[in-house]
Amino acid sequence: MSTHKNTHTKSLERKLHRKVIAKNSLNMFFTIIIYLVIIIVFASPMFYVIGNSMRNSQAIWSNAFPVSWKTFIPYEGISLANFKQTLGIGDVAKGLGMDISQNLLISLASAIAVVTSSLIFNTSAAYFFGRLKFPGKKFLLIFVVATMMIPQQVVIVPLYIVANKLHLINTFWALVVPWYSSPFVVFLLTQFMSDLPYEYDEAALIDGANQWDILWKVVLPNIIPGLITVSLLEFQFIWNEFYWPLIAVSRTKLYPVQVAVASQFTESGPNWGVVFAAMTLASLPVIILFLFLQRYFYESAAMSGIKG
């Protein structure tokens, strides 16, 4: 009788084990399907742009329909001529006046200038909110954060008037000065700083440090991942900015790369191979920067109060 019960119990355990394995396998299957769909949705535009940047317009349109692997991956007539033309290399490119190398430098210089000024002003403001104690601090921080809810289109006219009064329109500084400070970066850095124990500040004050010493020698070394994260986000924002430069700058030599790429769309129609090559070159800096700095991005998410 006991042997029969043991056999029955083992049989139930095996059935339960098989059900668990089947359930886990099914969950794994659906998880893989979801991940594949996400990868296809997000990666297919990138493959489409990169692949067609190596084709001429005729090859692009001849493989556009019906959609197949040939639409995304060039299989014949692969050439880097579009990239050369985009960068103004060669007689054809010089004759057409196509050269975004200057625009790439403008975007890079403006992004670096904004990130630098942002780290200076936003870090100071974040230290004010995150480490100093004073009455009404929370209400003032709420006011700063509330400005994030105002759409850019609402303030674009007053921003243009102020920039014009300062004689910044049609200058390089029109791409920098309006973005020297950001409420989002102030809020994010405030979270990083407020997570640090206040015992650090008290110990530094006992050792004779002032507020500048605490900021420079205590706080900043402990939020390096956060500083790199906000720098990456700010760099990406400025690099991809289109609306304000389109309004504030009319000289083609001062166009950032996004406006320069959009200027290729004319009534006669763009050379799609060149446009895709320009898009690829415009995307590379941000992608490369994120690949090198992603470790700090994940570290900042783990150490901050925004972790999910």
CATH code, 107: 1.10.3720.10
- 140 and 32, same structural domain? no
Q: Give residue 80's pLDDT.
A: 82
Q: What is the pTM of this model?
A: 0.80
- 112 and 81, same structural domain? no
- 263 and 126, same structural domain? yes
> With 60 as the cut, is the pLDDT of residue 305 above it?
no
Q: Give residue 167's pLDDT.
A: 93
In terms of Cβ atoms closer than 10 Å to its own Cβ (0-12, 13-18, 19+), residue 165 is exposed
Q: What digits encode the pLDDT tens for the residues 171-187?
A: 999 999 999 888 889 99
Question: What is the span of the domain harbouring residue 69?
Answer: 2-85
Q: Average of pLDDT values for 277-284? A: 89
- Tell me what percent of the residues of the chain surpass a pLDDT of 90: 20
Given 57, 85, 113, which residue is the final one in a domain?
85
Q: Give residue 19's pLDDT.
A: 77
DSSP the chain: -HHHHHHHHHHHHHHHHHHHHHHHHHHHHHHHHHHHHHHHHHHHHHHHHHHHTTS-HHHHHHTTSS-SHHHHS--SS--SHHHHHHTT-SHHHHHHT---HHHHHHHHHHHHHHHHHHHHHHHHHHHHHHT---TTHHHHHHHHHHGGGS-HHHHHHHHHHHHHHTT-TTSGGGGTGGGS--HHHHHHHHHHHHTS-THHHHHHHHTT--HHHIIIIIIHHH-HHHHHHHHHHHHHHHHH--HHHHHH---GGG--HHHHHHTT--TT---HHHHHHHHHHHHHHHHHHHHHHHHHHHHHHHHSTT--
Residue 306 — very low, low, confident or very high, per pLDDT cuts 50/70/90? Answer: very low
- 105 and 26, same structural domain? no
Given 28, 51, 85, which residue is the final one in a domain?
85
Mean pLDDT of the chain: 83
- 155 and 19, same structural domain? no
Q: How many domains does the chain have?
A: 2
- Tell me what percent of the residues of the chain surpass a pLDDT of 70: 87
> With 60 as the cut, is the pLDDT of residue 35 above it?
yes
Residue 255 — very low, low, confident or very high, per pLDDT cuts 50/70/90? Answer: very high
Q: Give residue 9's pLDDT.
A: 66
> With 60 as the cut, is the pLDDT of residue 147 above it?
yes
Q: What digits encode the pLDDT tens for the residues 65-81?
A: 777 777 787 877 678 88
- 157 and 38, same structural domain? no
- 244 and 146, same structural domain? yes
- 115 and 61, same structural domain? no
- 109 and 81, same structural domain? no
Residue 94 lies in a domain: no
Q: Average of pLDDT values for 246-257? A: 90
- 125 and 19, same structural domain? no
Residue 93 lies in a domain: no
